[in-house]
Amino acid sequence: MKYKELVEIYEKLEKTSKRLEKTFIISEFLKKIKKEDLEEIINLLRGNVFPVWEEKKIGVSEKLVIKSISRIAGINDKEIEKKWAKIGDLGKVAEELIKNKKQTSLEEKELNLNKVFENLRKLASLEGEGTVDKKVGLISELLSNAQPIEARYIVRTILEDLRIGVAESTLRDAIVWAYLGKELKIKYINENLELEDRKNYDFIIERTQYNYDLCNDFVEVAKNIIEYGIDFHKKTKLSGGKPINVMLYPKAESIEDGFKSVGKPAAIEQKYDGFRLLLIKYKGKINLFTRRLENVTKQFPDIVMLTEEQIKGDDFILDSETIAVNSNGQWLPFQALSQRIKRKYDIQDIIKKIPIIIRIFDVVKYNNENLMEKPFIERRKLLEKIVKKSNKFDIAEQIITDNLEEAKKFYEKSLISGNEGIMMKDLNGKYQPGRRVGYGVKIKPILETLDLIIVAAEWGTGKRSKWLSSFTLSTIDKESFLEIGKVGTGIKEKSEEGVSFKELTRLLKPLIIEEKGRIVKLKPKIVVEVAYEEIQKSTTYTSGFALRFPRILGIKEDRRPKDVNDITSINNIFIKQRNRFIK
């Protein structure tokens, strides 16, 4: 297949902001493509060449791309940077420069989809000496054969910023429309979705999402549906060593409400203030994933060893929390763990400096058996059997009770020992991946902090002119970001004191997508924990809310943009807080 055919789809998708139309465009395209191109196309539609959890990343900097464009267009780096600052999109810069170049040269070869995919994958596997030249070589090879419009998307894919607005849910629906459209009698007419059986359609979409939650791989989902048709969900299984989307827990306002949600008696556990980790062993090999599906196996050889030594079995998925401790064994706040996650070298040193402990709280798969449908109490019993306990590596502390006083005591004890609160869990609850379903709830003291995403920032002035110093925070509403305020406090001058301007600038600079004066627009990637005095109604920000005295407490490396506090949860806190003031 020609790369041009995919590029035509990219263009159509970029031109519309309507979700249904995007779904239609993709589904019509998927219907046409050959089976052997499926993997490449599905990945490239998401702007990647691997599933999200793959350790390998394209990992090419803007600088390198500029170098490659410069080589092909015969224009120096500085000129390209200037154009980039003006247009704000290196893809479009490449497009324009190649257009100019093409007018003067005749040579032309049509780019093949496989060739593009192959070079992009090679970019991800290059390591060691001479890498920079090889990378520039691979990119230049593609650009020299690309039509201007193809160059736009090649560059954007390399920078992992495709800008065609295809959300996970859009691709999911498009797969259903493409391969089950006939069975479900899906009709897309006049920009409307017409269904004869909405209930069945919703059911199939829900099962498709479930399938995705089990593997985080749309290629696997599409192949399942193609192979098994409308009954694919009966065959859906937990396959291989792929990470699942973890189960999430809604919040309960009090222990009484908690009992109402999960029933009596309930399992009550400490809510450890650490970092969620999936411990996955498949074919004897252990991999560790965060809840945002980053593979952190290399950063935690200590956890790999403990898992190897203290869990019986060769095939499992366990859900756990990792907590950092100091040399006296006291638990440290979340920030300490961030250092462990970021560290890519001298791992042994940092293992000694910031030791960790693990508390396992669920088992999802064991010896090739999917346990998600089994009651929680049985899963817990299995944990008791397969975990060899030690101080460092244990299962979550738990009581089972129907007694309010006993539960309250456990909550207090949990808070005193430095935990965030408690979890209350339904003894008969399933494990529902990727959802807040109420098989378990969390309870923590009000007013809670918010997880928000940084979407814009401002360069500082005076001695802070090298740093981004004011940050615009957003909440989400489904897939769109809504601003809720600006924050410049809580950030430190020196990194030893906490999150520093320098660190935030380092993290955010590569995410700049547009620069106007001192204001920069950012790719929504960095999630921060924010404390505040009060949430107020406001017409200044698109969310309709503003935060009084916001301050950044830390960076939440384990959160994805879609995991932040959404507008509904902010509205709930707003109402709750108003009631608090009235009382």
Name the site residues for ligand AMP (rule: CB under 6 A).
249, 269-272, 276, 321, 361, 396, 423, 442
Q: Are 2 and 113 in contact (CB under 8 A)?
A: yes
CA distance 221 to 145: 33
42/372 with CB nearer ligand AMP: 372
Is 271 a residue of the active site? Answer: yes
Of 262, 232, 183, nearest to 424 by C-alpha is: 262
242/271 with CB nearer ligand AMP: 271
In sequence order, which residues have a C-beta less than 8 Å from that of residue 386 and are 6 or more positions away? 311, 312, 313, 316, 363, 366
Of 433, 30, 51, 48, nearest to 226 by C-alpha is: 30
CB of 280 to ligand AMP, least distance (A): 16
Tell me which residue has its CB nearest to ligand AMP: 276
CB of 200 to ligand AMP, least distance (A): 33
CB of 542 to ligand AMP, least distance (A): 24
User: Within a 13 Å sphere around the CA of 398, how many CA atoms are in the beta-carbon half?
Assistant: 22
Q: Are 485 and 543 in contact (CB under 8 A)?
A: no
Retrieve residue 286's tokens: 């252990």
295/542 with CB nearer ligand AMP: 295
47/561 with CB nearer ligand AMP: 561
Q: Are 422 and 410 in contact (CB under 8 A)?
A: yes
538/569 with CB nearer ligand AMP: 569
CB of 245 to ligand AMP, least distance (A): 11
CB of 270 to ligand AMP, least distance (A): 6
**Is the omega angle on the peptide bond into residue 265 within 30 degrees of 0, that is, cis?**
yes
CB of 557 to ligand AMP, least distance (A): 13
Spell out a b/e string for 301-329, using b for 16 or more CB atoms within 10 Å of the CB, else e: ebbbebbeebbeeebbbbbbbbbbbeeee
CA distance 375 to 425: 11
Retrieve residue 520's tokens: 């920069």
Q: Which amino acid is at 225?
A: I
209/565 with CB nearer ligand AMP: 565
331/574 with CB nearer ligand AMP: 331
Q: Are 368 and 315 in contact (CB under 8 A)?
A: yes
CB of 492 to ligand AMP, least distance (A): 24
Retrieve residue 363's tokens: 């088992």
Maximum distance among all Cα pairs of the chain, rounded to whole angstroms: 82
CB of 329 to ligand AMP, least distance (A): 18
CB of 554 to ligand AMP, least distance (A): 13
Of 548, 553, 549, nearest to 530 by C-alpha is: 553
Name the 3-class secondary structure at 152: helix
42/358 with CB nearer ligand AMP: 358
Instruction: Write the CA distances from 52 to 43, 49, 217, 244, 562, integer angstroms.
Output: 9, 9, 8, 11, 14
CB of 321 to ligand AMP, least distance (A): 4
Of 376, 67, 42, 345, nearest to 217 by C-alpha is: 42
Name the 3-class secondary structure at 151: helix
CA distance 307 to 279: 8
Q: Are 22 and 28 in contact (CB under 8 A)?
A: no
Of 14, 9, 39, nearest to 26 by C-alpha is: 9
CA distance 10 to 191: 19
Residues listed for the chain: 583
77/412 with CB nearer ligand AMP: 412
* Residue from 67, 92, 271, 374 carrying the catalytic annotation: 271
Q: How many CB atoms lie within 10 A of CB 23?
A: 24
Pairing of strands 440-443, 519-522: unpaired
Q: Are 248 and 434 in contact (CB under 8 A)?
A: yes
210/361 with CB nearer ligand AMP: 361
Helix (H) or strand (E) holding 393: strand 393-395
Q: Which residues are catalytic?
A: 271
